Copies of this chain bind each other. A is one copy, B any other.
Amino acid sequence: MAEQHTKTRNGLDLEQMVQTIDALKQDPSLAQFEFRARNQWINGGTNRSTIKDFYGAGSEDASRQEPFVFTNGEPPVLLGNNEGANPVEYLLHALAGCVTTTTVLHAAARGIAIKSLSTDLTGTMDLQGLLALHDNATVGYKEIRIDMDIEADCSDEELDELLAFARDHSPVCNTVCRPVPVTVKRVKTKQEAA
């Protein structure tokens, strides 16, 4: 039993976790990742992404046989027919998942066992920004609140410290909190018709 307890924590393989961290410490180039998505417009506010390959740990990943496929849509009030969640809702899903996984990972590294963890996210937005109705309207989320209900085998003080650390080290949270440069470039991937 004792051996089983040390093998995984919060569902993470502790030996693999330590090996991964040691490998990245030895060779920081292994920590350089490139993630990718390909998206195809369908019609109106509907479009679809396929996500499969990425580069990381020094090579192209080959673990996925099939791509993940996600459809963006819009509700009727935003001129769609609920073909899928909309992009700003997918962003909340990404943020929820990243803060959760970062919390679980660093809890495991600290020896904290998490019993349960759920989050409620709320993001506020003024659509006058998207529609360019006012120059001074904020485009995108004004703020995002995450309410986290977490139970673990540690004190409330340790939990609060863990949550603050996870917020500061979550890649998606930081991509939202920090200004991250996004460039849009027009390219021709198809052959021109004669």
Instruction: Verify A36–B122 contact, CB threshold 8 A.
Output: yes
Tell me, in angstroms, the Cα distance from A141 to B98 when the chains sit together: 13
On whether A101 and B85 interact (CB within 8 A), knowing A131-B31, A180-B141, the answer reads: no
A75 to B51 CA separation, bound complex (whole angstroms): 12
B-chain residues with CB within 8 Å of residue A114 when the two chains form the complex: 41
Q: Please state if A49 and B92 are interface contacts (CB–CB under 8 Å).
A: yes
A187–B128 CA distance with the chains assembled, in angstroms: 32
Asked if residues B88 and A102 are in contact (CB atoms below 8 Å), the reply is: no
A117 within 8 A of B: yes
Residue from the list B21, B89, B179, B190 in contact with A68, Cβ < 8 A: B89
Q: For the complex, is A172 an interface residue (Cβ under 8 Å from B)? A: yes
Copy number in this complex?
Answer: 2
Question: Shortest CB–CB separation between residue A95 and chain B, in angstroms?
Answer: 7
10 nearest interchain CB pairs? A11-B44, A140-B174, A72-B97, A11-B43, A39-B96, A87-B98, A37-B92, A90-B94, A41-B117, A140-B175
Residues of the B chain whose Cβ atoms lie less than 8 Å from the Cβ of A86: 35, 97, 101
Interface bits A157-179 vs B (CB < 8 Å: 1, else 0): 00110011111111111111111
A169 near B132: Cβ-Cβ < 8 Å: yes
How would you classify the secondary structure of chain A's contact residues: helix, strand, loop or mixed?
Answer: mixed
Other A-B pairs, 5, CB within 8 Å; known A39-B97, A41-B118, A139-B170: A54-B89, A90-B90, A142-B180, A150-B186, A177-B182
Chain A positions 27 through 49: 1 when the CB is less than 8 Å from some CB of chain B, otherwise 0: 01001111111111111111101
Roughly how many angstroms separate A184 CA and B186 CA in the complex, as a whole number?
37
Q: Is the CB of A140 within 8 A of B68?
A: no
Asked if A75 contacts B47 (CB within 8 A), the reply is no
